[in-house]
Amino acid sequence: MTRATVTRSGPGTAHGRYRLRHVARMEWIKLRSVRSTWWLLVCVVLAMVGVGIGVGAGYRSHTPVATAAQIVNNALGGAVLAQLLIGALGVVAVTGEYSCGLVRASFAAIPHRGMVLAAKVGVFGVVAFTVGELAAFAGVVAGQAAIAGSPVPQVSLGDPAVLGPVLLTGAYLGLIGLLGVGFGVLIRHTGGAIGALFAAMFVPMFLAATFGPAGIAVLKFVPLFILVNSVAVVTPVPGTLPAWAGVGVMCLYAALALTAGWRLLVRRDA
Amino acid sequence: MIEARGLVKRYGATLAVDRLSFSVRPGVVTGFLGPNGSGKSTTMRLILGLDAPDAGGVRVSGRRYRDLAWPLREVGAVLDARAFHPGRSARAHLAALAASNGIAGSRVEQVLDVVGLANVAGRRVGGFSLGMAQRLGIAAALLGDPGVLLLDEPVNGLDPEGIRWMRELLRSLARQGRTVFVSSHLISEMALTAEHLVVIGRGRLLADTSVAVLAAGSASLEDAFFALTSGATDYRADRVDGDRDSTARTA
């Protein structure tokens, strides 16, 4: 048994006060020191790579011969799966603290709750965008590798028509991660927040679809629809948002969820 | 120094804390006693600014908690022994908290040593026993070498050796001039650890006095506690009087 002694170093040894960089360091340690973070991030990349390989392999002997755009579009379609994983990771980055009560230790360490949320959004955002981009590139590269030696034409990532959708798909994934953070702060419960996030992505699709062709006026603002029609495609489907506008709308959604979460966070009892 | 003035906290129709005022002085261990549901944990959360009071306020070292420059260097708290992410190691948990308040990484190893967890620091805390979790909580509270310590039921789950260790630790921390505020429902343990007591029932202050004064008029501190809280207890069985007397004598 260790002797129960603690020495006092005395007050006055520390100057200044806590800043965002201190809080960001805490959030970075928290994020990286949990294994599920790494598992989910690896799965995000694997989802894109897996779909890319599947698409490429499927089109190798397809007749008529697939176009270059078809291969890219379908490979980027892996983002439909990847977004669920990165969204869930965003949720869990917040609700994991609520489920065990760690959030109270975090707020006792940093009473400025807005700063804690800002640090979490900053740190998680950088990770989510980086991994989102990595996954999008890996998906397309995997798709290209899978059609190597077949009659299907290859594309170059240096081609702006290809690079654009790849970059924007990565950004879309990062934004879904931040949307997950927003839902986590709002709902504070892992199951509830993931359920609500997935519902927000899928339910409007089905609802708007019941309105037939007129539904597209609403559908073009639905996240999943934006992904598969505006963002993760070489040429956006006519009548839908341009790719940059689609990502802009996603930015708006993430900002709305985070702002609403922040307003509740500073008012609610922890 | 902790100073609570006119604290009121309501949860819906429940009045959890009712015009509560007290001060906790440095240099002695102050026990915070009360029956289950009397508002001890709520008061602790109000001190740390985790819950907002409906009226009144608390000052720690003369300031509102949210105005502290480096909160962990002023106040160390253990509210919930299990407040750790189960998948994180003890070392990573402490490192994250240390980073938030600009505390050197070497201090993490120091406090792990103090609480006797150095050899399991790399293990995931999900596998920790309740006693180990309590020790990790104490380690986190000591990280910033704070002048004020706030502990909610710190001996829960500790074995007899651990209880004695905790008692000595708390007393030595107080001797160093720190303010040590410890809630408990174990009166006999408080009789051994604390010199001063703040007793509440149904959110109201019942006593703010020394252990010696409170126990003076009764056979034991436990008897004094029951006499004090008899009108302010929601969840006590009716017929425990006989048992209570016999345990009080043997305690």
Confidence of residue A10 (pLDDT cuts 50, 70, 90): very low
How far A18 CA lies from chain B's nearest CA (Å)?
Answer: 6
Q: List C-alpha distances in Å: B85 to A189, A229, B106, B154.
A: 14, 39, 22, 19
Q: List the one residue out of B19, B61, B21 whose CA is nearest residue B150.
A: B61
* Torsion angle defined by CA atoms of residues A17, A4, A30 and B95, in that order, rounded to the nearest 10 degrees: 60
**Is residue B231 situated within a structural domain?**
yes
Stretch B229-243: mean pLDDT, rounded? 59
Q: Which of A14, A96, A101 is facing B102, going by the closest CB pair?
A: A14
Nearest by CB: B52 against A16, A30, A269: A269
In chain A, whose CA is at the least distance from the CA of B93? A30
**Could you report the per-residue pLDDT of A210-268, keeping only the tens digit for each?**
888 888 888 899 999 999 999 999 999 999 999 999 999 999 999 999 999 999 999 99
Domain containing B232 — which CATH number? Answer: 3.40.50.300
Q: To the nearest whole angstrom, how far is the Cα of A21 from the nearest Cα of chain B? A: 8
Task: Report pLDDT digits (tens) over B69-104.
Answer: 999 999 999 998 889 999 999 999 999 999 999 999
Å from A17 to nearest chain B CA? 4
Is B162 a domain residue?
no
Contacts of B46 in chain A (CB under 8 A): none
Nearest CA in chain B to A96: B85
pLDDT (0 to 100) of residue B235: 57
Contacts of A22 in chain B (CB under 8 A): 99-102
With CA atoms as reference, the chain B residue closest to A95 would be B85
Round to whole Å and give the CA distance between B167 and B189. Answer: 8
pTM reported for the whole predicted model: 0.91
Mean pLDDT, chain B, as a whole number? 91
Chain A residues closer than 8 Å to B48 by CB: 104, 107-108
Residue A200 backbone phi and psi in degrees, to 5: -65, -30
Domain that holds residue B54: 1-61+179-251
Give residue A137's Cα distance to chain centre: 15
B79 belongs to a structural domain: no
Q: Tell me, what's the ipTM?
A: 0.91
Number of domains in chain B: 1
Query: Residues B27-60: pLDDT tens digits?
Result: 999 999 998 889 999 999 999 999 999 999 999 9
> Per the domain annotation, does B157 fall within a domain?
no
The answer to whether the Cβ–Cβ distance between A29 and B92 falls below 8 Å is: yes
pLDDT by residue (tens digit) across B119-142? 999 999 999 999 999 999 999 999
DSSP string, B73-113: HHEEEES-TT-S-TTSBHHHHHHHHHHHTT--HHHHHHHHH
Nearest Cα of chain B lies from the Cα of A188 at a distance, in angstroms, of 15
Q: What stretch of H or E contains B244?
A: helix B241-250
Q: Could you tell me which chain A residue has the CA closest to the CA of B115?
A: A2
Quick: pLDDT tens for A183-199.
Answer: 999 999 999 999 999 99
Residue B191 belongs to a domain: yes
Distance CA B27, CA B195 (A): 10
Residue B159 included in any domain = no
B141 within a domain of the structure (yes/no): no
